[in-house]
Structure 1
Amino acid sequence: MSRPDRVVVHLASPALFVGASADGTGADTDVVTDEHGLPHLPRHRLAARLGAGASDALAVAPGLAGARDELFGRGGSHGADRILRVGHAVLGDRVRAAVARALAGRAEPVRSTLRRAVTDAYTTLESGIEAGPDGAPEPGRLRTHRVLLPGLTLTAALTWASPPREEHWRLLARACLATTRIGLRGTRGRGRVDVRLAGSGDTDPHAVTLRLAVPAGGRGDRGGAPV
């Protein structure tokens, strides 16, 4: 069976991927978009969450600590010491191609108007009271936040500086399973996600990820019972 070549991120709840949008949406907290107005999850944020998920997985598989350092770098480094590179998590090729065609050759202000409409199609505005330094609400400080709509699926390409071994795939699969929230204010019911590994064909990403997460032969990482 071919190995996965991408990470799939499915949004189960609204998510705040804070950043600068192509044209600015007027919200106090904006959403990061590309030059066509399409929202995406920047690769460094996805890599950071996967790295945190890998560290969580070490609680039951400490023998994979070396694989974690090789995958994500020692101490979360973004340098050349890590073998895995994760791309931006973006919408599907067909969507991006269609939007690019729609914007091609458009002059301003039509181009900005269409680009803003693209962003609006995948996001919504939420309002809330700003919290102070102690976490208490600040009276009269109403703020708006642009969030991604639930149900969206984003895909990030995987590239490797050197061929991954079985333990690398095992830890990466477990990191995906352990990554259940992404984005700002994930503890407030936002940014719930399902993260899975996927390859070519119609193979179920959930099944692929579970298969890779289990040690070869079904034995545990400590050489004991299966985990």
Structure 2
Amino acid sequence: MSAPDRIVVRLASPALFVGASADGTGADTDVATDEYGLPYLPRHRIAARLRAGARRSAAVAPDLTAAADEVFGRRRSHGRDRMLRLGHAVLGDPVRTAVARALEGRPEPLRIILRRAVTDAYTSLESGTEVGRSGAPEPGRLRTNRVLLPGLTLTSLLTWAVPPGGEHWRILARACLATTQIGLRASRGRGRVDVRLAVPGDDPHATTLRLAAPPRCRRGVHPWPPHR
């Protein structure tokens, strides 16, 4: 059985993910887009949410604490102290290829117009009054936010610095299941997500649940993948 090689993030509600777009869209808060105007979730933000999910999971399964430190690192960093390497969460290759071909050879400013149209297809604008530190609206502080649309599915490729063992897959799968919201204003119902490990041709939900399950102890039955 093949090991997962990606993490799939499906947005179940609009997500406010502040970032810099390729051309700017006039909103007070924008979203991160690539050179084609396609939105993406930066890898460091995904890693931060997964690390938080792993910490919550390890709190009820202390035997996975060491594995969580090895997978995500002991510090808030993306350096050599962690096993897991994540890529940006992006749209699928067919979409990226189609958009790249549509933009190929286009002169400016037509290229900018097309990129903004691509961004508009995956986002929407929301307006509201800015909320202060007390949680109350700030008078006269109307702001426009660009948010990612629900239903968007993004994929982050994963690699390992060293081959993972069963406990590493287990804490990663549980971190995915524990990550149910992402982005800003999560407390207001924004950024609800399903995060799953995926194997090409398999059901990501079933794959993640299988890897998150405790190892079987019955004689002759061994967990997958095997321990190191």
TM range (shorter): over 0.9
Question: Partners in 1 of 2:133 and 2:77 — Cα distance?
Answer: 30
- Which ranges of structure 2 fall in alignment gaps of 5 or more residues? 219-228
Question: Partners in 2 of 1:94 and 1:190 — Cα distance?
Answer: 28
The alignment yields a C-alpha RMSD, in angstroms, of 1.0
Give the deviation of 1:142 after TM superposition.
0.8
Superposition pairs of residues 135-146 of structure 1, within 5 angstroms: 135-146=135-146
Tell me the equivalent position of 1:12: 12
Tell me the equivalent position of 1:65: 65
Give the deviation of 1:76 after TM superposition.
2.6
Compared CA separation, residues 218 and 24, structure 1 to 2 (3 A): farther
Tell me the equivalent position of 1:112: 112
Question: Partners in 2 of 1:156 and 1:70 — Cα distance?
Answer: 20
Tell me the equivalent position of 1:86: 86
Q: Answer yes or no: is 1:96 the counterpart of 2:96.
A: yes
Question: Partners in 1 of 2:214 and 2:136 — Cα distance?
Answer: 47
Give the deviation of 1:133 after TM superposition.
2.7
Give the deviation of 1:33 after TM superposition.
0.5
Percent pairwise identity: 76
Tell me the equivalent position of 2:226: none
Question: Partners in 2 of 1:180 and 1:46 — Cα distance?
Answer: 12
C-alpha distance after superposition, 1:128-187 (max 9, x if no partner): 101123221111211000000000100000011100000000000000000000001111
Displaced runs of 4 or more, over 3 A: none
Give the deviation of 1:189 after TM superposition.
0.9
Question: Partners in 2 of 1:37 and 1:191 — Cα distance?
Answer: 20
Tell me the equivalent position of 1:200: 200
Give the 3-state SS of the residue equivalent to 1:194 in structure 2: strand
Question: Partners in 1 of 2:66 and 2:207 — Cα distance?
Answer: 23
Tell me the equivalent position of 2:191: 191
Aligned amino acid, residue 204 of structure 2: P
Give the deviation of 1:200 after TM superposition.
1.6
Q: Answer yes or no: is 1:35 the counterpart of 2:35.
A: yes
Question: Partners in 2 of 1:94 and 1:121 — Cα distance?
Answer: 16
Give the 3-state SS of the residue equivalent to 1:16 in structure 2: coil
Q: Answer yes or no: is 1:216 the counterpart of 2:215.
A: yes
Give the deviation of 1:218 after TM superposition.
6.1
Question: Partners in 2 of 1:67 and 1:206 — Cα distance?
Answer: 22
* TM-score normalised to structure 2 length: 0.94
* TM-score normalised to structure 1 length: 0.94
